[in-house]
Structure 1
Amino acid sequence: MTIRRRTHIYDGPGGPFEGVVAWDDAATGPRPGVMIVPNVLGQKEFDTMKAEALAALGYVGFACDTYGRGRRTTRESPDPAIYMNELAADRALLRDRLHASVAALHALPEVDVTRTAAIGYCFGGKSVIDLARSGGDVLGVVSFHGIYDPPPYDNVSPIAAKLLICHGWDDPLAPPDSVVALGEEMTAAGADWQLHAFGDTGHAFTDPSAPARPGFGYNPDSDRRSWAAMRDFLGELFA
């Protein structure tokens, strides 16, 4: 097994966009593809490493870009959330960029277009739920410590993509009432959904570099357990 990565530039509304593809070059033929949607900072090494971890599971990992080529921030930036806030204020544009990213995933020669999914972290977790809400062409989505407020447009009905929500119970950005509201929303939309809530766990629980403060920070147990839940979910999804 040798995991490879390459930069992938693709088009979409407000593009071009620059993502990273990871695959096992010992594998032959098309295989399932999994898109990774980044957190507030945009596409970065963390997301590429997740793409490589998915490639090690036998998939093609695609760390996509929803902000646009060269539009990235760090935690030290004057406004780390500047590009996220632009899309949070225009959920229709976010939807359209997500759909363009799925189209780019489907266009990869290594990918079996009949078996694709998307996972996302923080803002990316919110994004993949929107992808399901808007009828994105994937079999399922996994949200890690996402945000659950609905977009201003109507959901498709029924929601065809299956959903796995991995949630830190102490996350102040997704309090219990928003979790209940998401469950009610998904049920009303006819979705096949499941929620894994992790106790003593806050926002950004999968990110070892996340600053620790009340309601935020890395939790290695919840990180490991949520990845295992994702692995089982994808295995069932692509069976």
Structure 2
Amino acid sequence: MAIRTRTVEYQGPGGPFEGVFVWDDALSGPRPGVIVFHNVMGLKAFDVDKATELAGLGYVAFAADMYGKGKRPIDRDAAFMLGNDARSDRRVLQERLLATLATIRAQPETDAAHIAAIGFCFGGTCVLDLARAGADVDGVVSFHGVYDRPPFANADPIRAKVLVLHGWDDPFCPPAATVDLAAELTESKADWQIHAYGHTGHAFTSPTASGPGLAYQPDADRRSWLAMRNFLDELWG
């Protein structure tokens, strides 16, 4: 195994953007690609580490940038300002998502016919909006995402399979919001699953999570990553 990385600059509304592409150059030929969408704190080592784990499983991965080249918030206030700006126009956000999809698809190591996306917190919104847009991806996985739907119609049907990995005590998405998401995905004819973890709040995959309703939960972290692996195996096994 020889994990390699390269920085990739790409264009989209509000760009340029700059993400990190990760692959194992001990493997030959194109292989399925997975986009990793960051949480509200922006692109950082955590996201590149997740992309590296995916490359170690035999995929190629792209740690995406949703804020813009050089926009790496250093504190929570700056991060929420960038996150709120990115969410302020969901059609523009979807255009950014589609630009990111085109970027991973264009990499020579990627099997362009087999793409999935995973996302954490704000990145969970990103993967759900990618699916809602009718993007040509095989599947999306939301880790402790935010579920509010855009103020316009979804693609009908949503073609991507959807896996939602959810902390049942998440204050940002209480049970009613989770039930609403299930109804929305059913209405849009998506193939969906929701796995809920008891006694678990928001940001359960982040060892540094702190604040009201935010806490790392090692069991949910381990179980959710395994659920994602099984989901990808089912897509492409």
TM-score (structure 2 length as normaliser): 0.98
Report what 1:138 is aligned to.
137
Q: Encode CA deviations 1:71-100: one digit per residue, 9 max, x unaligned.
A: 1213x3543211100022111111000000
Report what 1:182 is aligned to.
181
Report what 1:229 is aligned to.
227
- Conserved in 1, the CA contact under 8 Å of 2:41 and 2:76? no
Q: Distance in 2 between matches of 1:61 and 1:208?
A: 22
Q: Encode CA deviations 1:22-47: one digit per residue, 9 max, x unaligned.
A: 11110000000000010001111110
**Secondary structure class of the residue paired with 1:80:** helix
Write the letter of the residue equivalent to 1:10.
Y
After superposition, the Cα gap between the structure-2 partners of 1:77 and 1:122, relative to the gap in structure 1 and judged at 3 Å, is closer
Write the letter of the residue equivalent to 2:106.
A
Aligned residues: 237
1:128 Cα shift? Answer: 0.4
Q: Distance in 1 between matches of 2:82 and 2:196?
A: 28
Report what 1:65 is aligned to.
65
Report what 2:98 is aligned to.
99
Report what 2:125 is aligned to.
126
**Secondary structure class of the residue paired with 2:79:** coil
Identity of aligned residues (%): 57
1:226 Cα shift? Answer: 0.1
Q: Distance in 1 between matches of 2:184 and 2:77?
A: 36
Report what 2:216 is aligned to.
218
1:191 Cα shift? Answer: 0.3
Q: Distance in 1 between matches of 2:76 and 2:213?
A: 22
Q: Distance in 2 between matches of 1:80 and 1:112?
A: 33
Report what 2:19 is aligned to.
19
TM-score (structure 1 length as normaliser): 0.97
- Conserved in 1, the CA contact under 8 Å of 2:140 and 2:162? yes
- What residue ranges of structure 1 are gaps of 5+ in the alignment? none
- What residue ranges of structure 2 are gaps of 5+ in the alignment? none
* CA RMSD, Structure 1 to Structure 2 (Å): 0.9
